[in-house]
Structure 1
Amino acid sequence: MIVERAGVPTPRSITLPRDAFRELGADAVFEAIADELPVPLVVKPARGGSAQGVTIVEDRADLPRAMVDAYTYGDVALVEQCIRGTEIAIGVIDTGDGPVALPAVEIEPLSGVYSFEARYNAGETRFYVPARLPDEVAARAAETALAAHRALGMRHLSRVDLIVDGSGTPFFLEANVLPGLTETSLLPQALEAAGHDLGWVYEALAEDARREP
């Protein structure tokens, strides 16, 4: 909602606390979802990481199971429109001179879904840095990531995950305030593609944070 108010394209969505099912009844909740959002849908915990509890729902009959999976990881679930397109991640860093968007990392899971397994099993996902996007689309995606970073009040570093649809519109999916920093993580790949020395960047980020009151 915050990034949408900032003018960033986001998928249509419904936020559902677990208590909604007890207060309104499951039938009423599922009817409200059907009235608001067509399939395919994405169901995921409102907070978390590594795609845990995330389900792409192609058939409404699978929605109850998807809700249970999401609530396994938190008390609030997000049901949103499934945007098809190119999945990318854009790192944003600020070492003291203002936030800067790094080259987009394109994510191509061989299974078609960037699941927990696709993230952590070697060879199940291809990454392209920079992403295989037209220059104007890549620039638009970078501005989208910066707008989300600023709207959410993030500092120092973040990773913004986006889907670029067939028309070239980048849709905000989520923002990560503590992205992975291993050698195979997305943010370090982007830093290296931008020509940065990882050690220098991490030291500069720490020093900038230390100087703040």
Structure 2
Amino acid sequence: MIILEDPYVSPELASFAAGRQEAVLDTPAARQAGLDYGLDLALVSSRDAARLCCRGERLYCNSENALDWLYSRSGNAGLVRSTELLKNKLLFRQRLAPLFPDFHFRELGLRDVMETHFDSLPGPCVLKPAVGFFSLGVYSIEDAQQWRAARDDIAAGAVRWRREYPAAVLDNQVWLLESLIRGTEYAVDVYFDHQGKAVICNILQHDFACAADVSDRLYYTSADIIRRMAGPLEAWFDRLNERLGLHDYPAHVELRCDDQGRMVPIEFNPLRFAGWCCTDISLYAWGFATYGCYLDDARPDWDSILPGREDRLYTLIVLNKPAHCPPVRRFDYDALCARFRKVLHVRKGFYDHYSHFGFLFTETPAHDRAELDAIVRNDLLEFVIPEESAPAAGKPQDGR
């Protein structure tokens, strides 16, 4: 069963659901996706969806906006407990604390954040909402100036966050202060099978412009990344799941790995793979849908998928708006795409409502990363055609 919810349903996911007549919860977002893409979705009522959920039907959500239904209407108490454990970063840290005794964290209320002095912080750390999404409200803190800037941004962003996301997805009233994790960051789409064993569907490396950067700009996967990391990661996930107890469950996991191969989780995002349907990068990189692997209880056959794809990086580029972006009349996607050797797909038109201009999928030679090194530092203002007032609200588009 699939729940299709705002903020975005990709045509790839909607076509997948329609093509196999997968049960889809009847929501306004699902009905709109069917109309937008001319698809006949197998919509089921909330009552019938709850029956499927309670009898053990695997559930995939494209968005954490679906969690409201899960909590209030699904009737599956075990699934709710597992999801609450992952979604609440404080509970998650507490459950895994015995496995990471050197990792420090503590809870802060919003008032505590505003009144705490930098001198009382436990060295380099990260501040983030205990319930959060999409790197919103995530701050890397290494000096007093960064601490002041974080608090100023929280005060300025509070109203906007409440408008864009429900409290079940992003809540700025409770915060988590935790150790700054060093190392290479990875984002992994993984599910846990009926026995609780991990099955990896994709691995993305997440690169940053600098040490203080916490943005979602650049992710990429490659045959080398899959071959190096899939085995160690599945063993690591199996070890963590001895404490988490997940089964028949998908997650998008962010973690960091240091030079000695030690891995520390950043967060487990529940019941979905990469957000905003960005998990569709697997279609462009590897030719299969990650959510299809999960729903079919299938394991990617990497030995047959990877040959012939060596020396390529398959990228997901999040076109996030810069700070103090002027009101946008138009974004020049053609000029942006001209900066890349091979654009696989571009998703356009989110900037009227959200904090980004869209998403870009590219193929880049692994031996020549110049275009990626440039985009990770580009504020994108050169592609913005501004106007004096914001344009009328429009629906995100998807296309070349």
Report the equivalent of 2:96. 3
**Mapped partners of 1:189, 1:19: distance in 2:** 42
Q: Which 5+ residue runs of structure 1 have no aligned equivalent?
A: 119-124, 206-213
Q: In the TM superposition, what are the counterparts of 1:120-131 in structure 2 within 5 Å? A: 125-129=218-222
Contact 1:88 1:131 in 2 (8 A): no
**Mapped partners of 1:18, 1:183: distance in 2:** 27
**Mapped partners of 1:133, 1:204: distance in 2:** 21
C-alpha displacement of 1:131: 6.0
C-alpha displacement of 1:127: 0.6
**Mapped partners of 1:91, 1:9: distance in 2:** 26
Equivalent position amino acid for 2:142 in 1: E
C-alpha displacement of 1:203: 4.0
TM-score, structure 1 as length reference: 0.67
Other structure's SS at 1:89 match = strand
Other structure's SS at 2:150 match = helix
Report the equivalent of 2:106. 14
**Mapped partners of 1:94, 1:77: distance in 2:** 28
Report the equivalent of 1:122. none
Pick the structure with greater CA Rg: 2
Q: Deviations over 1:86-107 (max 9, x none)?
A: 1112333245454323055132
Q: 1:45 to 1:198 in 2, by over 3 A?
A: closer
Q: Could you tell me which of 199, 219, 244 is aligned with 1:101?
A: 199
**Residues 1:115 and 2:203 are matched in the alignment:** no
Contact 2:199 2:234 in 1 (8 A): yes
**Residues 1:32 and 2:32 are matched in the alignment:** no
Other structure's SS at 1:84 match = coil
Equivalent position amino acid for 1:15 in 2: E
**Mapped partners of 1:9, 1:139: distance in 2:** 24
C-alpha displacement of 1:17: 1.7
**Residues 1:169 and 2:262 are matched in the alignment:** yes
Other structure's SS at 1:45 match = strand
Q: 1:114 to 1:61 in 2, by over 3 A?
A: closer
**Mapped partners of 1:93, 1:2: distance in 2:** 19
C-alpha displacement of 1:169: 0.5
Report the equivalent of 1:211. none
**Mapped partners of 1:104, 1:200: distance in 2:** 12
Contact 1:43 1:70 in 2 (8 A): no
Q: Which 5+ residue runs of structure 2 have no aligned equivalent?
A: 1-93, 159-170, 298-400
Report the equivalent of 2:383. none
C-alpha displacement of 1:83: 2.0
TM-score, structure 2 as length reference: 0.39
Contact 2:200 2:230 in 1 (8 A): no
Contact 1:18 1:76 in 2 (8 A): yes
Other structure's SS at 1:102 match = strand
